[in-house]
Amino acid sequence: MPDLPTRSRPLEQDAGPTDERLDAYILARLELIGVDLSVLPEDDEDAPADRRRILASARRFLRSTPGAIAGFELDPLGPPPGMYPSEMSVWTDE
């Protein structure tokens, strides 16, 4: 019987980064563009925004969207992407 390939990583690593690692990544990226979440309350349901909700929303986005974004390929010789493609098609005859 042939040997089955062994896993290169433990099963628990296949689930993706933990919330703590994603939070560190999100906060670092926000800091690079000059956004400081430390001015917001940590957890206040009466506030329009708080750190807990913003980080939870960013984690949901990172866990669901990058695959679609990573698969997108822009043709460098094609027309630039437009906000409203139907209106752009009138100008470009496409």
Q: Beta-carbon neighbour count of residue 26 at 10 Å?
A: 19
3 occurs within a structural domain: no
Pick the more confident residue, 14 or 17: 17
Query: What's the pLDDT score for residue 65?
Result: 80
Average model confidence (pLDDT) across the chain = 79
**How many domains, the chain?**
1
pLDDT at 32 over 90: yes
Q: What is residue 70's predicted lDDT score, i.e. its pLDDT?
A: 72
Of 50 and 16, more confident: 50
Whether 27 maps to a domain, the answer reads yes
Contact by Cβ (8 Å): 19, 59: yes
Position 11 in a domain: no
**In-domain check, residue 9:** no
